[in-house]
Amino acid sequence: MSQLPNKPDTSANKRPNVIVFFTDQQRWDAAGVHGNPLNLMPNFDRMATHGTHPAYAFTPAPVCGPARACMQTGTHITTNEVYHNGPVPRADLPRVANCFNDAGYKTGYIGKWHLAGANNGNGSGPVEEELRGGYQYWLGANGLEGVSDAYNCVMFDNDNKKVKLPGYRVDAQTDAAIRYIDNNQNDPFFLFLSYLEPHFQNHIDDYPPPTGYREHYNANNWVPPDLAALGGTTQQHIAGYWGMIKRLDEALGRLIDALKSLDMLDNTIILFTSDHGCHFKTRNGEYKRSCHDSSIRVPTAITGPGFNGGGRFENPFSLVDVAPTLLHACGIDIPKQMEGRSALKLIQEGANAANWPEEMFVQVCDDPSMIGRTVRTKRWKYSVTATDADARIKGRSSGYVETELYDLEFDPYELRNLVDQQCHEKVCNVMKDRMLKRMDALGEDTPSIAPAKRVPSGQRAVTDAEAWM
């Protein structure tokens, strides 16, 4: 980086506005800065180029409800106890919206929530005020996919009255966000804009883009290498998926244009990220809930005061780090209960990263076929699966077994599992040690981790230095 970004002015009359542009089930490699050739996300790519780009951004839990709980509370799922879709985060934990409320901000939420429990029978109804995470303005639904459709955007307002907004769902939500911004020009605000796209529409198991977009990407259909190799539902769904992402990026551009026209862009922090990725049933029987980057890695970029000119951020960045980073950027104290870290000092000052973890830690607790833990460095991915039959209920296990090891330097799309190779036993032991330390730090009882059955490979053994990369 040639020049570090300026620190934001957090004085009373200059406090920055904050917008979180939050998508659902979006792969990191939909972005041009991650190699996608289809020009799906030029506005995001511009944010990443001119702002701060956490290039290695991950969800701590690859499923909707748990990921959102981590983001709203700044804690991991074994702390907030949202192990799977349905539970409500522990009441005694801080919420990011309440932190902004206490600092005098206006707070607003528009879109999918997924943290109000199974209300209205199927979790798709209105959200009672006490379950809205402290947001003052509300236009949302607990399960947006259950109460709306691509061209039938239905949500609920502060009084839990049903509101139908015109247009394609992405556009309808963006229109609502622009109205909110226009109505709050005189006070600092924190707006969380939560889209359903590019998540599949549940009742038809499809990825419905705007009219005409599917046809375009059927004709211009680049496929990521893991999907090309493994298949799944890729050919059925990828064109619609790309079309949904294209429209989301166009919405991001509209939002930025609105801020610019209102002379608010220079004093507004925008953070773009997603709750988890999508592997199109190539790793298990559905679209997420796996340890692979297709499931856990998400596109992330931040612009605005304190972040413009930050460049490529190489340290692992988790959704649990979002709330602390945004609070810090606005001069608001970070609650001690939050387990995430603010990346602001590293971004602004190029500070020593000695206290920043070298690895990403992911907890998967939502699917009986994959209750496990994952650690990922830039070079290695190591995963274990629970052997305890009650692990899904408890969110943790007393015992695990090694199930995956990938060398990401030579196999970035995780097509060759090395966990059973004798020549990689040293790597497994190093990564196991990293995993146990992270589990211990989060209060998990130290479990047993049984080694995979090793077989000779004929390859050279990994060196000590390589094992720690």
Q: Are 135 and 108 within 8 A, CB to CB?
A: yes
Q: pLDDT-derived band of residue 351, with 50, 70 and 90 as boundaries?
A: low
Higher pLDDT, 395 or 87: 87
pLDDT digits (tens, 9 = 90+) for 183-220: 999 999 999 999 999 999 988 889 999 999 999 999 77
Higher pLDDT, 146 or 47: 47
Say what angle helices 42-50 and 234-261 make with each other, to 10 degrees.
Answer: 60
Q: Is the dihedral of CA 199, 201, 203, 206 positive or negative?
A: negative
The DSSP annotation for 183-232 comes to: HTTTS-EEEEEE--TTS-BGGGTB---STTHHHHHHHS----HHHHHH-T
Residue 214 backbone phi and psi in degrees, to 5: -60, -45
Domain boundaries, the chain: 17-349, 371-467
pLDDT digits (tens, 9 = 90+) for 359-410: 999 998 765 556 789 999 999 999 999 887 666 667 778 889 999 999 999 9
Give the pLDDT of residue 141.
95
Compute the C-alpha angle 399/404/408, nearest 5°. Answer: 140
Query: pLDDT over 90 for what percent of the chain?
Result: 78
Instruction: Name the CATH superfamily, with its identifier, for domain 17-349.
Output: Alkaline Phosphatase, subunit A (3.40.720.10)
pTM for the whole structure? 0.94
Q: pLDDT-derived band of residue 2, with 50, 70 and 90 as boundaries?
A: very low
Dist. CA 107–CA 398, nearest whole Å: 41
Topology of domain 371-467 in CATH is: Arylsulfatase, C-terminal domain (3.30.1120)
Dist. CA 68–CA 289, nearest whole Å: 14
pLDDT digits (tens, 9 = 90+) for 170-179: 999 999 999 9
Residue 434 backbone phi and psi in degrees, to 5: -60, -45
Higher pLDDT, 261 or 468: 261
Q: pLDDT-derived band of residue 101, with 50, 70 and 90 as boundaries?
A: very high
Dist. CA 114–CA 119, nearest whole Å: 10
pLDDT digits (tens, 9 = 90+) for 405-463: 999 999 999 999 999 999 999 999 999 999 999 999 999 889 999 999 998 877 778 88
Give the pLDDT of residue 404.
96
Interval 9-30 mean pLDDT: 90
Give the pLDDT of residue 252.
98
Q: What amino acid occupies position 406? A: Y
Residue with tokens 């603010």: 342
Q: Are 135 and 192 within 8 A, CB to CB?
A: yes
